[in-house]
Amino acid sequence: MARIAEIGMKPFIVGIGGTTRQNSSSEKAVRCALNYAEDGGAETAMYAGPDLMFPIYDPARTERTPEEARFVADLRRADGIILASPGYHGSISGHLKNALDYTEDMNRDPKAYFSARAVGCIGIAAGWQAANSTLATLRSIVHALRGWPTPLGVTINSAGPPLFDDDANCLDESLDERLRYMARQVVVFAVMRFTARAAYPDWELWPETGEYFPKVKLELDQDA
């Protein structure tokens, strides 16, 4: 992580999470993870719940407010993403789902939706059942958006003492380590993709997404 500067890349990681209330636990979880991403050399942008008070997504409405346009522009630019949602009735909040619906603006991009980007997912609820189902829903949405959910997803049970202080520092050692590790995966995967592209001068364009993959000559054993 400390050597990111040596390869001339500063990953841009976008965090999205929270409720309509400022400083919610889900917002703090994303901020905590973004802090670790910054420690690893990344540039970050945070979209908390109050930043996502967009109108219900309507594909027939093509005009965008400056806030909506900035949100989509940052997602287009992102090398990695971190998502967090509270568990509402066993799933993600409608607030977050509506914001993610705006990725439909990216459906015809050369790199559509979340293509080729690692996405860290966090589900948080006052109980493990809703936290786990919320995490599973987030990971399914990321798959649908062609992203790569990080191997580690984080669930948080918010029933009990506060888990974060006012500055989004995690007060639980085990949870703090999981958020740190997940953030590290998002940053490392962004760097791996960058270095893989740099390592192969003979790349071919994949027409569907604008992504590139190396030409590989496969030699089969004729006696096999």
Q: How far apart are the first and last CA of the chain?
A: 42
* pLDDT given for residue 215 in this prediction: 53
* pLDDT given for residue 202 in this prediction: 55
- Among residues 86, 68, 88, which one has the least CA distance to residue 76? 68
* pLDDT given for residue 224 in this prediction: 40
Residues 82 and 54: their CA atoms lie apart, in Å, by 19
Q: Which residues of the chain have pLDDT under 70?
A: 1-8, 197-224
- Tokens (6 digits) for 81: 């993403």
> 4-214 — its CATH code?
3.40.50.360
* pLDDT given for residue 6 in this prediction: 58
pTM: 0.87
* pLDDT given for residue 207 in this prediction: 46
